[in-house]
Structure 1
Amino acid sequence: MPVRAFLALLLSVVIAQAAGATETPQKPFVTIGVRVDAGPFAAQDASTGSFVGFLVDLCTDAVTRAGYPFRQVPVTADERIGVLRGTRDDIDLLCDPTTITLGRLRDFAGLEPAGRLSFSPIVFVANGSYLKADGKKAAEAPPAAETAASPRPACIFAEPAPDGAKPRHVDAGYVVGTTIGPVLRDAIRRGLLDLQPGEGICPREFPRHGDAAAAFCRGDLGYYFGDADIIANSVQKTGRAEGCVKAALARPISYEPYALVISGQVPGFREDVIRALYEIFSDGTAFDRFNGHFEGRKMSPFLNTLFRINQIPAGGRAEAEAVPAAGAATD
């Protein structure tokens, strides 16, 4: 081989090796678990099978910005319990309106290995509320039979029935694994539901919001509890039974701060996603996503404040490495 040709070949090999050394390593595939029945936050379209919702966009935006290829898998309310308990390890990011609570933080801290699950920053603030059937239906609805899909805890009475009066039972539906169960019991004890003496609420768990909404629309439930946006969305999609879509949401009975659940199985994934989420809020993308999924709805002052709090400063390495002069004030 001529010397010139050999040198050219050698140079091309060196350049190729240098280029390869500067390429960003391919990041691993991650799995996003998407709740199938919690629109407008996360749901699976029955006709197309695609996943839609505000949190779905937030999750895919963050993972894409962080540079990870991903796949999405459906997660039911019951399957979500396994993720939160740490017994299901095939989900790297749970795209679900999960309320961050002190109890869940303690549970995550107790999982092995340390850091197995953690919460993202709070990405949404919502309210627990309920729909109530008309007065006659609510007062006369008998408690339904217990089934495997809808177990019956004990009915809760605010006040006992007057002497000689027969107690009245009202079924109240909510979805398994949500925080609304304890909230419901607390609301009854605090007198937030305006129950009459002798009128008791009988909680009924349902596997999906669609099932609870259908039961409410059929007149099987006097109350339907859950996230205000989710139960309104579920009733509108379930059917047009008379009186069903006309039911008005009651006053809020709980505060629900939502955060994403992130697995620590993939090194660096949690930190990359959290940084990407802050970028999404900081550049206004989160506001655009809200407007796209809550069309015509004005953002509450509390939610607006949260979105703006999440718009953190860009900062930079030079800023981090700067050494303040003696006696200079720092923040």
Structure 2
Amino acid sequence: MANREDIQTLATKIGQSIIGQEAMIERLLLGLLANGHLLVEGLPGLAKTRAIKSLAKNLDASLSRIQFTPDLLPSDITGSEVYFSEAGKGEFKFQQGPVFANLILADEINRAPAKVQSALLEAMEERQVTVGGDSHKLPELFLVMATQNPIEQEGTYPLPEAQLDRFLMHVRVDYPDAKSEVAIMELVRSEEKQTHGKGDAADRLAADVVLSSRREITDITVSKAVADYIVALVMATRYPDKIDADLAKWIQVGVSPRGVIGLDKVSRAYAWMKGRDFVTPDDVQAIVHNVFRHRLVLSYEAHAGGITADQAIDRIVEKVATA
């Protein structure tokens, strides 16, 4: 219970500086608790960068921001062997890159070529970096939040489906409402009158609380009925013709086994955050869009008809019977 209260307090602190984006904050914490990575898509100025900075400010964790550009090299992310000379003797030593932090902001990940993207995605999957034949472990608390701009596609290198599958969740961020916009203006005015540092160490949540919470989440019960429901949702994406004629026209490639694992992990983390020790179908439905959204490959017919992945997922949830 204490860990859950600490995580809820962390969410409240982040929410004090991120107004009108409660869903994004919740998904960011879910990714942290489920030990997965997030692809966050939204227009500029919607507090994507601010969210992970606020998380780092209130959590005892290091943050690295990597601005992805076409001229970025893999070694700019992972680090490289550097030659050091001392007392007439020289040797190569590994100098760590920015990926060796607890929280990584991969800003506009689709602006760098595939070779650079894969350097980061390898670290995400293997939780280590190999340079010069030596492997270097990444921190146990390690989360990548990659961002994309949905409207500016010129000069970008879209992530292929196999790389998208490495992300636990795909989060879409939309405009805040009018009331939130007023609160945002007031917040910025108040911030202009004061300076913000990293935050007192005593006020920051210890990383061990997150790691301990993850262990508690592994004990969350998933009944056979709910497990079957999760699998049924996945199977509906792979064999859509068995449940709906429109889905059969819309979906070209269904969700991979990583999607099954991801939906199970995030459902358990969501139930834990809601104070339950078991997963319900409502928990699964609450986060299924985030887990499936980037894993579905829609057909040409779906794109031509303006059908989105979210609409296809809505139809699947509607047609597949709950546990």
Name the TM-score class by shorter chain: under 0.3
Which structure shows the higher strand fraction?
1
- Bigger Rg, which one: 1
Q: Normalising by the residue count of structure 2, what TM-score does the alignment of the two structures yield?
A: 0.26
Q: Normalising by the residue count of structure 1, what TM-score does the alignment of the two structures yield?
A: 0.26
